[in-house]
Amino acid sequence: MLSALFASVLTGAAEPGDRATILLVVGAPGEAEYGTNFAQWAAMWERASRDGGAKFVSIGLTATNSLTDLAQLKGTLSDEARESAAELWLVLIGHGTFDGKEAKFNLRGPDLSATDLAEWLKPFRRPLAVINCASSSGPFVADPQADLDKDGQTSLLEAFLMASRRVAEFYESAGRLATEHALLDDNGDGLGTPADWFRGIRAVKKAREDALADGLRAHQFHMVRSEQERRLSPEVRAKRDELELGIARLREAKSGLKEDDYYQRLENLLTGLAKLYEQDTSKPQ
């Protein structure tokens, strides 16, 4: 579903303390055709991980050993740092089931339930993206158009929007009723936002009036960073992200603020951003 992530042409290794981990889990294919597709998509993720200088770990691609895939996943997550500035990407490629009570991701052997995954991820205090790739929405050609804001890199949000658009175009051109409706949830409300609620990279609708719009945090995730982004230190990137989220939240609260108060807060945040960039660019590269 998210092969649009691989559109960035600028590559480079991340700094050691800022090195992301890409944990790819390939589920039980069921049919040989799916197994071939899953392997191809996994190879794309591995290539993108290498281009971004990320640590790549895969489960479900090689012959099973004494441990089930479910046990391997639990153990791998246990070995990952709980607190870190480095991003952790958990990518699931395969089939899922839902019996009306519990959603599960099909593995070789015992399946992964949403409840178990939520419990295993609960201790983490680091940037975390969980990407559940539907089995029929992966084989897209890398497209520079996925970089919607033209900053030289493709964010997780931009990849979601491009992939969703391609899926919709596929069903429309085939004259079929769409059976896949991807959701993005990065504000923690568990509701999610479909791609057609976005205009550009901004959500214009929300699942609940008092909820923070989805997409703000996802737009700060980049597997392969641009050259300009790589020049920033991890500390500056983290502070920049915090300030940009503050600006976005302030914009959403604008209607409830007095005009002078709004612009004073906005000025403080923008001044903080400007000083941050000035401080970082003054350092020798």
Residues 6+ apart with CB under 8 A from 52: 11, 12, 13, 14, 20, 222, 223, 224, 225
Q: What is the pLDDT of residue 259?
A: 94
C-beta of residue 184 within 8 angstroms of C-beta of residue 215 = yes
* Residue pair 73/61 in contact by the 8 Å Cβ criterion: no
Given a contact cutoff of 8 angstroms between Cβ atoms, the answer to whether 217 and 187 are in contact is yes
- pLDDT at residue 257, as a whole number: 93
Decide: 52 and 11 in contact? Cβ < 8 Å: yes
Closest by alpha carbon to 164, among 152, 153, 176, 156?
156
Percentage of the chain beyond pLDDT 90 is: 31
Please report how many Cα atoms fall inside a 13 Å half-sphere around the Cα of residue 169, on the Cβ side: 7
How many separate helices (H) and strands (E) can be counted in the chain?
Answer: 7, 11
Q: What does the pLDDT look like over 135-190, one tens digit per residue? A: 433 322 234 455 566 677 888 898 888 888 888 888 888 888 877 678 888 887 77
DSSP 83: B
In this prediction, residue 8 has a pLDDT band, given cuts at 50, 70 and 90, of: very low
At residue 5, does pLDDT exceed 60?
A: no
Distances (CA, A) of 228 to 48, 54, 72, 231, 260: 18, 18, 37, 5, 34
Residue 96 tokens, joined: 């899922």
* Mean pLDDT within 227-240: 84
Tell me the per-residue pLDDT of 45-67, one tens digit each, with 9 for 90 and over.
999 899 889 999 999 998 867 89
E strands in 100-154: 103-105, 112-113, 128-134
Whole-angstrom distance, CA of residue 46 vs CA of residue 39: 10
With residue 273 as reference, give the H or E element that holds it: helix 259-281
**In one letter, which amino acid is 88?**
L
- Alpha helices per DSSP H over 80-155: 114-121
pTM of the model: 0.71
Quote the crossing angle between the two packed helices 234-252 and 259-281, to the nearest 10°: 170
How are beta strands 183-184 and 193-194 bridged, if at all? antiparallel
pLDDT at 175: 84
Q: How far is it, in rounded angstroms, from Cα 37 to Cα 108?
A: 17
